[in-house]
Amino acid sequence: MSYQAINPFTEKMVKTFTEQTNEQLGAIIAQADNTYRNDWSLRTLADRKKILKNAVKIFRKKREEFAGYITLEMGKLMTESWVEVDLSADILEYYADNAEAFLAPEKLKVSGGEAVVESAPLGVLFCIEPWNFPYYQLARVAGPNLMLGNTLIVKHAPNVPQCAAAFEKLFLDAGAPKGTYTNVYISNEQAATVVADTRIKGVALTGSERAGSAVAAEAGKALKKTTMELGGSDAFIVLDDADMDKAIEWAIIGRMNNAGQCCIGAKRFILEETIADEFLSRFKSELAKFVPGDPADPNTTLAPLCTNGALKLVQRQIDSAIKGGATVLLGGERVDRPGYFLEPTILTNIQKENPAYYQEFFAPVALIFRVKTDEEAVKLANDSPHGLGGSIITKDIGRGKRIARQIDTGMVFINQATWTAPDLPFGGVKNSGYGRELSALGMGEFVNKKLSRFNEEQIIGMLKEHEAGKKVADIAREHGISEATLYTWKSKYGGMDVSESAAVEGAR
């Protein structure tokens, strides 16, 4: 596997990176494991929060530098690269600010004594991440898991090596110890050995179905927890009562964001018959306005695709769709200029026998379908191997909610395209994968939800240890509970030093 930064606009090589040897990789795993066991997992939440907050400050201060790497390596419009940096910083800050609440011990109602469920880290996680959002994808796994106390080894996509290195440096500059977050340049064969390594306790992957299937199989052999986000072919349903201005606005954003290279992009446009002609006419007109050019130029509205391979793949898909009976309403060709540009494309008359019917188009290509009823719209939306997101455009919110409940996806948005935010859970079903990232749910994937059950005699015994001069931290560690839980018991059973309790709670 070759780690190369090739500018998609100029098609010129920028920089190459050497893969790590097996010996170097072994040392990286050992360092991550050592850092987890002897440093990072032992730190208080307050310590970890301070480092993530430092990372956020650096991220925002160097916004232009970080955004520049995105645009250079995968061709994203600079305006969109700025948004990605901002969103990624927001995600890190979200988990820094909310981790304490998300990880708070849960007291269970039991007869006699006490029972509490607490959240503990698992260890070293291995993350395999894609190129289309080079920092956002990393922030989704780094934010929750670093605050939890896990350490991360991350294999990023080979075409964004400078973005990968910049994100690793971000945490080192923020004060994280070596081994907390480590980027690796390794082959797929080496990645398989990482998954199998006993020191790796979980695997997170965002990528293709093929990659997800292979990695999940390897992890399954080793009995390791995984999360998989494997893309989608989101339906964008426009009902007969839709606000057409809103429908067109969100259709353009949903399909053209990131030059169509978005797992939650609107890809299948399901139009109720009475509004289909108007929608298509206006949609086509707006797509025709996109201007290809240097993605660093603010006047450019159409960015190149990420690689020559990506461009060739979608060209083959379009050719196959046409051979299968599809009609090209707009575009369909490579733009006649340097760079990996594809014309914004609309395909219609796609029958179920057409290969395009079940494919995901990771490019500015819109597939158009017509239906007569809400029931037909739901049936068509669900007739897909994917189940990531979806959108419904309607003035009747009640009608939109009813349809949303019938859509077999992980996310449905009413009156906007599928979108993302730190506090919204992200993930899908079917071939779109499993598990959730972002929100409180994203902090619950690679965590040990540990039950501690104590009778009153044991609790009183622990409190007496403290009264005899033993430190709360030592008592908590020996009995496998948090200091916060011990102070809760001290409050209930007596003998609490209020000032000491407040100090410990503040340190958390």
Distance CA 381, CA 486 (A): 51
Distance CA 186, CA 388 (A): 29
CA angle 300, 206, 338 (to 5 degrees): 30
Q: Tell me how crowded residue 489 is: count the other CB atoms within 10 A of its CB.
A: 20
Which contacts qualify for 401-410: CB closer than 8 Å, 24 or more apart?
403/237, 403/239, 403/374, 403/377, 403/378, 406/378, 406/382, 407/235, 407/378, 407/381, 407/382, 408/381, 408/382, 409/232, 409/234, 410/436
Distance CA 39, CA 180 (A): 9
Three-state secondary-structure class, residue 5: strand
Distance CA 192, CA 195 (A): 5
Per annotation, catalytic residue among 229, 343, 445, 483: 229
Distance CA 419, CA 391 (A): 10
229 is catalytic: yes
Following DSSP, what letter does each residue of 279-292 receive, concatenated? Answer: HHHHHHHHHTT--B
Q: 321: number of CA atoms within 13 Å, CB side?
A: 28
Distance CA 166, CA 63 (A): 12
Q: 15: number of CA atoms within 13 Å, CB side?
A: 10
Three-state secondary-structure class, residue 1: coil
Do the Cβ atoms of 127 and 152 come closer than 8 Å?
Answer: yes
Distance CA 394, CA 331 (A): 28
DSSP state at residue 253 = H
Do the Cβ atoms of 242 and 251 come closer than 8 Å?
Answer: no
Chain CA centroid to CA 282, Å: 32
Per annotation, catalytic residue among 263, 360, 437, 483: 263
Contacts of 140 by beta carbon, 8 Å cutoff, 6+ apart:
91, 426, 437, 438, 442
Distance CA 173, CA 471 (A): 33
Do the Cβ atoms of 115 and 85 come closer than 8 Å?
Answer: no
Distance CA 336, CA 339 (A): 9
Q: End-to-end CA distance of the chain, in Å?
A: 43
Packing angle, helices 483-493 and 456-467, rounded to 10:
100
Q: Tell me the catalytic residues.
A: 229, 263
